[in-house]
Amino acid sequence: MPNIAMVLKEEISRLARKEVRRQTQALRKASGQYRKDIAGMKRRLFDLQRKVNPLQKQVLKSTPSPAATADSSVRFTAKGLRSQRQRLGLSAADYGKLVGVTGQTIYSWEHETARPRKGQLARIASLRHLGKREALAQLQQLTRRTRKKSR
């Protein structure tokens, strides 16, 4: 005669397996459906990408953006900015007035804790071809304008 504890243990484990199977069946069905949905979305994404890629190439070939060509030629390096400012013999505050920012911003750019925005890059690029006299003349014009506005 089998041991009652053994029979009881086997019956409990059988019922537990049956209950676990019943509860996980809904999760299995849901995860299977999710896998199907994900596979369908991946197929649609692949098809859309295949359709978009030739269109992107066509658009890029037909109309080169003037802003993109202008921005790509303007490079910024902190060392270059520092040497340009020193070549002009200007303080960071004075150079900042020419660019339209504060002296602290120029200091941050030179020490690579910040980078100039696109509009500021364009202004920096326009100052590259200035000599000392021209830079001082522009600076004097700016200070005159600010004095007139403050009166």
Q: How far is Cα 137 from Cα 87, in angstroms, rounded to an integer?
A: 15
Judge whether residue 133 has pLDDT over 60.
yes
Contact 135, 128 (CB under 8 A): no
Non-local CB neighbours of 124 within 8 Å, separated by 6+ positions:
74, 76, 81, 84, 99, 116
Question: What does the pLDDT read at residue 31?
Answer: 95
* Higher pLDDT, residue 53 or 73: 53
Q: What is the pTM of this model?
A: 0.50
Residue 60: pLDDT band by 50, 70, 90 thresholds? confident
Give the CATH fold of the 76-150 domain.
434 Repressor (Amino-terminal Domain) (1.10.260)
**% of the chain exceeding 90 in pLDDT:** 52
